[in-house]
Amino acid sequence: MSNFFLSPQSNTNTNEKDLGDKLVYYGEVVATLGSIVAIVGSTILYYQDIEEEEAAFEEDTPVTNRQLIEMQQQITRLQQKIDQLENHGQ
């Protein structure tokens, strides 16, 4: 029984071995091509995201300035209300 695993099987057809080798080879080729396509696709998506972030940053700049002005106005109103409550309490 121990020689069973060590000795090559004589009843295996060489055509079957050739077919198996071809299938393994073509499988590796397909896997390699798939990896290349995945890398190219992820690179394209990465550069698209960078371009969108830069465009969004440029578009958001005026909105950010407006938001800062509104926040300053709200702080001023809150300070006035605090002053009114302090003066009303005295």
pLDDT value for 63: 63
What are the residues whose beta carbons fall under 8 Å from the beta carbon of 79, sequence distance 6 or more?
none
pLDDT at 1: 47
Residue type, 59: E
Q: Dihedral of CA 79/85/88/89: which sign? A: negative
User: Residue 81: what pLDDT?
Assistant: 92
Q: What is the mean pLDDT of each run of 10 residues along the chain (90 residues)?
A: 54 73 92 93 88 68 77 93 83
> Which residue matches tokens 């050739």?
18
